[in-house]
Structure 1
Amino acid sequence: MKRKKLAIAALAASLAVGTLAAQPAKAASTSLAIGSVLDIDKLDPHTATNFATVRALGLVYSSLIEVGPANKLKTGLATAWQFSADGKTLRLTLREGVKFHDGSTFDAVDAKASLERILDPKTTAAARANISTITSISASGRYLTLNLSVSNIPILAALDGVNMAMLSSTDIAAGKVGGTNKPNGTGAYKFESWEPTQSVKLSANPTYWMGEPKISDITIRVIPNEASILSAMNAGTIQFGIISDPLIAKQVNTRKLKLYKTPALAYYALQLNNKVAPFNDKNVRLAVQCALDRQEVVNTAMLGQGAISGPITSPAYRSSTTARPCPKADLAKAKAYLTASGKTDVTFKALVTSTGWATSVAMAQNIKAQLAKAGITMELDITDQATYVPRWLAGDFVATLANNGGRIDPDTMYTRYFTSTGNLNKVATYASSTLDANFLKGKSSAKSSVRAEAYTAISKELEDNAVWVWIATPFEYRVADKNLKNFTALTTGSLLPLRSASLG
């Protein structure tokens, strides 16, 4: 028992703008203007899936645990945590003296109410499945206790991020979360305003638990395209840019600007709807997988700025890119799978966002051309991000080219997608008893070897059934004014490090 407790503890630890030019003598501005192609789409952190929303609200709210540099877990609103010997009870010690933006004090009652709101199916929380092993929660003073149905070490990683934001229990009880209600978090920045398609304005939180941020206010401006973002950076009208286009990144003048290039945990995949024709036929799915040269997509649409990927991008359990039916394009095999399906002419529509990321349409066009060589016709249903996200969430597609967020742990990355009770299984369109069993195996073991075995089996099942066609991981690009100091780019794409940054 003691040895198991030590193993659990060991694993838990491992997871673990411009300047004022008119008067040169004046101090530098502490305002930061950020350029983003995407606008936020809601104000409820628990239901956020849009990358822009996740990034912006991540500055407004705090979570119990955070993912820091090198993908290590660190303290957030929880300063310490301890599992019971059997791994079925997690006790968190909460930070004292934390205030919500409205001046009220954060405590264990708020944490309990926040997690219960996430667990409530009526909330439709994006990460509900990641903490679904919680059977009960108790709050007492500085302590929050989570009782679990099974040993669940990855729940530490699950407690990170804006989807696990801590809310005021008073706001929750009054139904004042999301909608048109002003966000009330404990984060580094207070929410000031949102003008849809225009901007989001934030101001520094003077009572922030890490100390008041040095950047006094942040405006996230919606700019139509990334070329315009770079132009605004060069002109000095904005001081920070969120970029996804490697071509634009290559144009950054690093003598004038800083370029942050970080391998992303996020991944690109052609999601196939396994429940509708033609992809309710495994052979058709395999034909698509085998017809696709992933490296050509990377070289052509992504200008070589990416890496071929399997399902799991979590660094400690990354999927092999060769353990799949067709590691490289094989047209003969693709046509053989089509023959086995009894179909000689396969046509389908793929939902594609024109604004979600810069290379989306180019990637879709390249995939379309490649599939045509195998006798598969992919028609493009191109729409903007505001239309794309609701359709994606509803599973309203035959196929879709997606850019999905990755996580540092496979359990929190895919439990919500590929388990029979996952809250995003409608999007994934595939589940099985063997996947359920392997997710449980990976979740409940403190041994990295056992977990690796489970996630290798999960990856193999997803690939062998061509559930989706995983393509590649991109880079996260951030462009900043040379005067920005102490900013660290994260593989998650989070803007949270701005809380410690300064200008000038």
Structure 2
Amino acid sequence: MKLRMVASAVAISAALIGGAGLSVWPARANAATLSGGFDVGPGGFQGNFNPLAATAGFTWLSVYFEPLVTYDEKLQKVVGVLASSFDVSPDQLTYTFKLVDAKWHDGKPFTSKDAKFTMELARDAKSGSVLAARLKGVASVETPDEHTLVIKLTAPSASTFDTMTKMLMLPEHALASIPVDQLSKNSWWSTAPIGTGPFKFTKYVTDQYVELAANPEYRGGKPALERVINRYFANPAAAIAALRAGEIQFTYVDSNDVSTFKGDETFKVIEGDSFVVNYLGFNHESPIWKDLRVRKAVMYAINRDAIIKSLYGGAAKSANCAYVADQLVPKGVETYAYDPEKAKKLLDEAGWAQINGGKPITLLTYYTTPLATNVLAAMQAMLAQVGINVIPRAVDTPTYNSIVLNSNPDVSQFQLVYAGLQNGPDASNINVGLNENQIPPAGPNIVRARIPDLNAALDAALSEPDPAKRDSHYQDVCKVMNADLPWATMWVANRYGVVSSKLKDFIWTPAPGGGPFQAHPERWSISE
């Protein structure tokens, strides 16, 4: 496999599309306006800006919406945003949040009623909420006064705070009149949304850009910038071209683009762990993957080290389960070193010729960047060498979700997926992608994994109240994943952003799904 040829294709495709752009742009940025490609990269454009349905785009959404709590910028601890304080009862069943004095962008006060309203919407799958499955353990939501929210659980859950970081607060007075089952695609999200954040929504030009204006009444003080603009790009190359032209001051970039910025003092490269494991997900409802030997053959057939070296420039770590953090990976797990002959032998033993007969296998993904295209091409070629014929199909995120989350899916449309799921900063995140009780429509276990030992290991980790003991349960999760292969885990890659050196006090973290995290947009500024 000559990966250098594949890698060069990245540069060629980037050169071909680097000048691509959209036809309508906001005014050129000045010292009072920050423009960025906030949604460039994995996950892409969120469409109607509904945080209940968002699986990405939180870097942008949290500029005008806010959660009760979020992660700090290093993704190491949970801190308050709309909660001035929070605590957990000794039995881990009661979470109490004291709320700050804040106002919605229309001037009405933010209260515990809004927090309860948001929580109830997030718990209701009819609202389109992607958090509903994570909140099944909530017994009640209480509001003893306007500045106190109390959440009671049926059993301890280690993932509660992580889930709360993704729950951006919504105004009851603006949304209560909309039927819950009509909420997810209502035009309110893209025409007149109101939050409590430092910037207020002013305009959306379809598929072009969103413009926000400073909120002079923000409780943290009037923001330093007058406007923040999020521009949408067809691909990272177009965003990079806009960045170099001075049209934007920030964008996500792929690892293969980083070297072009290093040494250039007009830009700063931000690097960090993605906390996302990329994997080939076997649709367990497809008969072709029933034999474990076939799933193992896929692992042995792909030269992950070569792909990481040639396409990622070394900026990734091979993953042999959902985790790569030392404390979560037990000793002795199978490393699945590249061995195409072993892959062929396993396929022969499993009767692959009779199981599949050389038929093409649809490999569905929402990763559409030049880097991802070349990664898929490399994997396709490697699998072909052992007799597995995959045909990649890249679609936008909404299309992908409509296919894989369908409660009655067409198996032929996604026998295999190339996707990513958070493996941190809270290790519990992968539960929704693998636990049998999260199979759609209950949750996003899109591969329809039904592995009793894996369910038991995940449940034990989630219900363990002692953080010191929790890691051992996640090691059990890793062991089962490594042995039974619900996914063919590939790698955890670094992620990168590039910012203009003129940006001051700008915080961006390569967080899963774009965050959210403590970024303090009210402090961002641009020097002349």
TM-score normalised over the length of structure 1 = 0.86
Match of 1:44 in 2: 50
Kept in 1, the 8 Å contact 2:311–2:375? The answer is yes
Residue of 148, 165, 170 corresponding to 2:168: 165
Within-5 A mapping of 1:298-447: 298-313=308-323, 317-319=327-329, 323-324=333-334, 326-344=335-353, 345-347=357-359, 348-353=361-366, 355=368, 357-394=369-406, 396-411=413-428, 413-422=429-438, 423-447=442-466
Tell me the SS of whatever aligns to 1:46.
Answer: coil
Distance in 1 (CA, whole Å) between partners of 2:515 and 2:495 is 10
Distance in 1 (CA, whole Å) between partners of 2:170 and 2:91 is 30
Distance in 2 (CA, whole Å) between partners of 1:44 and 1:479 is 26
Question: CA 1:322–1:399 in structure 2 vs 1: closer, same or farther (change >3 Å)?
Answer: farther
| 1:130 is the counterpart of 2:130 | no
Match of 2:294 in 1: 284
| 1:483 is the counterpart of 2:488 | no
Residue of 33, 36, 39 corresponding to 1:34: 36
Distance in 2 (CA, whole Å) between partners of 1:57 and 1:489 is 13
Match of 1:184 in 2: 194
Q: Shift in Å at residue 346 of structure 1?
A: 4.9
Kept in 1, the 8 Å contact 2:71–2:516? The answer is no
Kept in 2, the 8 Å contact 1:18–1:237? The answer is no
Kept in 2, the 8 Å contact 1:128–1:416? The answer is no
Q: Shift in Å at residue 480 of structure 1?
A: 1.3
Question: CA 1:170–1:259 in structure 2 vs 1: closer, same or farther (change >3 Å)?
Answer: same
Distance in 2 (CA, whole Å) between partners of 1:403 and 1:448 is 25
Residue of 195, 205, 220 corresponding to 1:210: 220
Look up the equivalent residue of 2:47 and give its one-letter code: D
Look up the equivalent residue of 1:111 and give its one-letter code: A
- Mean Cα deviation higher: 441-450 or 85-94: 441-450
Q: Shift in Å at residue 317 of structure 1?
A: 4.9
Look up the equivalent residue of 1:414 and give its one-letter code: I
Tell me the SS of whatever aligns to 1:228.
Answer: helix
Match of 1:145 in 2: 150
Distance in 2 (CA, whole Å) between partners of 1:86 and 1:320 is 29
Kept in 2, the 8 Å contact 1:61–1:185? The answer is yes
Tell me the SS of whatever aligns to 2:229.
Answer: strand
Distance in 1 (CA, whole Å) between partners of 2:324 and 2:105 is 34
Distance in 1 (CA, whole Å) between partners of 2:325 and 2:63 is 25
Look up the equivalent residue of 1:336 and give its one-letter code: K
Quote the RMSD (CA, aligned, Å): 2.6
Q: Shift in Å at residue 333 of structure 1?
A: 2.8
Question: CA 1:390–1:290 in structure 2 vs 1: closer, same or farther (change >3 Å)?
Answer: same
Question: CA 1:191–1:431 in structure 2 vs 1: closer, same or farther (change >3 Å)?
Answer: farther
Look up the equivalent residue of 1:409 and give its one-letter code: D
Distance in 2 (CA, whole Å) between partners of 1:489 and 1:314 is 23
Question: CA 1:300–1:321 in structure 2 vs 1: closer, same or farther (change >3 Å)?
Answer: farther
TM-score normalised over the length of structure 2 = 0.83
Q: Shift in Å at residue 313 of structure 1?
A: 4.3
Q: Shift in Å at residue 187 of structure 1?
A: 2.0
Q: Shift in Å at residue 47 of structure 1?
A: 0.9
Within-5 A mapping of 1:38-77: 38-49=44-55, 51=56, 53-71=57-75, 72-77=77-82
Look up the equivalent residue of 2:210 and give its one-letter code: V
Distance in 2 (CA, whole Å) between partners of 1:316 and 1:139 is 41
Question: CA 1:495–1:416 in structure 2 vs 1: closer, same or farther (change >3 Å)?
Answer: closer
Q: Shift in Å at residue 425 of structure 1?
A: 4.0
Match of 2:523 in 1: 500
Match of 1:154 in 2: 159
| 1:242 is the counterpart of 2:265 | no
- Mean Cα deviation higher: 340-349 or 484-493: 340-349
Distance in 2 (CA, whole Å) between partners of 1:99 and 1:313 is 40
Match of 1:196 in 2: 206
Distance in 2 (CA, whole Å) between partners of 1:209 and 1:313 is 39
Q: Shift in Å at residue 321 of structure 1?
A: 9.3
Look up the equivalent residue of 2:98 and give its one-letter code: T
Match of 1:233 in 2: 243
Residue of 477, 481, 485 corresponding to 1:466: 485
Kept in 2, the 8 Å contact 1:335–1:374? The answer is yes
* Superposed CA offset, 1:164-209 (max 9, x none): 1111122342128542002222122222222232112122222233
- Mean Cα deviation higher: 171-180 or 56-65: 171-180
Tell me the SS of whatever aligns to 1:70.
Answer: coil
Question: CA 1:335–1:316 in structure 2 vs 1: closer, same or farther (change >3 Å)?
Answer: closer
Match of 2:19 in 1: none
Look up the equivalent residue of 2:251 and give its one-letter code: G
* Superposed CA offset, 1:319-357 (max 9, x none): 469723x431122332232123222345412013463x4
Tell me the SS of whatever aligns to 1:215.
Answer: coil
| 1:81 is the counterpart of 2:97 | no
Look up the equivalent residue of 1:296 and give its one-letter code: A
Aligned residues: 473
Distance in 1 (CA, whole Å) between partners of 2:52 and 2:326 is 27
Question: CA 1:383–1:144 in structure 2 vs 1: closer, same or farther (change >3 Å)?
Answer: closer
Distance in 2 (CA, whole Å) between partners of 1:187 and 1:431 is 41
Kept in 1, the 8 Å contact 2:328–2:478? The answer is no
Kept in 2, the 8 Å contact 1:42–1:48? The answer is no
- Mean Cα deviation higher: 100-109 or 489-498: 489-498
Residue of 300, 303, 328 corresponding to 1:293: 303
Kept in 1, the 8 Å contact 2:276–2:492? The answer is yes
Kept in 2, the 8 Å contact 1:18–1:236? The answer is no
Match of 2:109 in 1: 105
